[in-house]
């Protein structure tokens, strides 16, 4: 018994665990470097969105600070309190100009350019944005 040898089951389990963990780390590294090579499921609804809107930093009822990329004119916040809609009925439109929040629209308003848009402020809760209300 002069050499270190794996003789029994605990040593073999440890070796198997190390190999499995190494393969997992290599796979995660590959996914991180080349995410386009793998298929990802992305739902078109608000389900699973955890980037909630709290405030954009200034009084957004009087200054249009919710903007889309490529649009010079922004939209105003139209209500103080959030409205309640089911997350499964809200459709993702696009990220805002800052890229921090996703902008949503109700499914029945899809395609209507004058319909309000919403930022998610919590689970099933949305802040309404649109043209100036006052």
CA angle 9, 14, 15 (to 5 degrees): 100
Q: Is residue 82 within 8 Å of 127, Cβ to Cβ?
A: yes
pLDDT, tens digit, 9 for 90 and up, residues 64-123: 778 888 777 888 888 778 899 999 999 998 888 888 888 999 988 888 878 888 999 889
Total number of domains constituting the chain = 2
Give the pLDDT score at 58: 58
- 13 shares a domain with 30: yes
- 36 shares a domain with 47: no
- 34 shares a domain with 47: no
- 57 shares a domain with 27: no
Give the pLDDT score at 22: 97
- 60 shares a domain with 5: no
Domain range spanning residue 105? Answer: 43-134
For the segment 1-19, the average pLDDT, to the nearest whole number, is 78
For the segment 40-57, the average pLDDT, to the nearest whole number, is 77
- 72 shares a domain with 20: no
Mean pLDDT for the chain overall: 82
* Rounded CA separation 94/6 (Å): 57
- 50 shares a domain with 33: no
Strands 102-106 and 117-122: antiparallel
């Amino acid at each position: 018994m002069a050499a270190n040898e794996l003789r029994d089951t605990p040593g073999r389990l440890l070796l198997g665990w190390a190999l499995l963990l190494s393969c997992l780390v290599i796979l995660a590294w590959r996914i991180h470097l080349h995410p386009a090579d793998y298929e990802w499921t992305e739902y078109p609804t608000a389900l699973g969105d955890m980037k909630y809107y709290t405030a954009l930093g200034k009084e957004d009822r009087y200054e249009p600070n919710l903007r889309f990329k490529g649009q010079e004119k922004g939209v105003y916040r139209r209500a103080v309190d959030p409205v309640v809609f089911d997350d499964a009925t809200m459709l993702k439109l696009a990220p805002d100009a800052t890229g921090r929040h996703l902008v949503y629209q109700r499914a029945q308003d899809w395609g209507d350019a004058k319909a309000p848009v919403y930022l998610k402020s919590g689970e099933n809760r949305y802040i309404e944005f649109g043209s100036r209300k006052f």
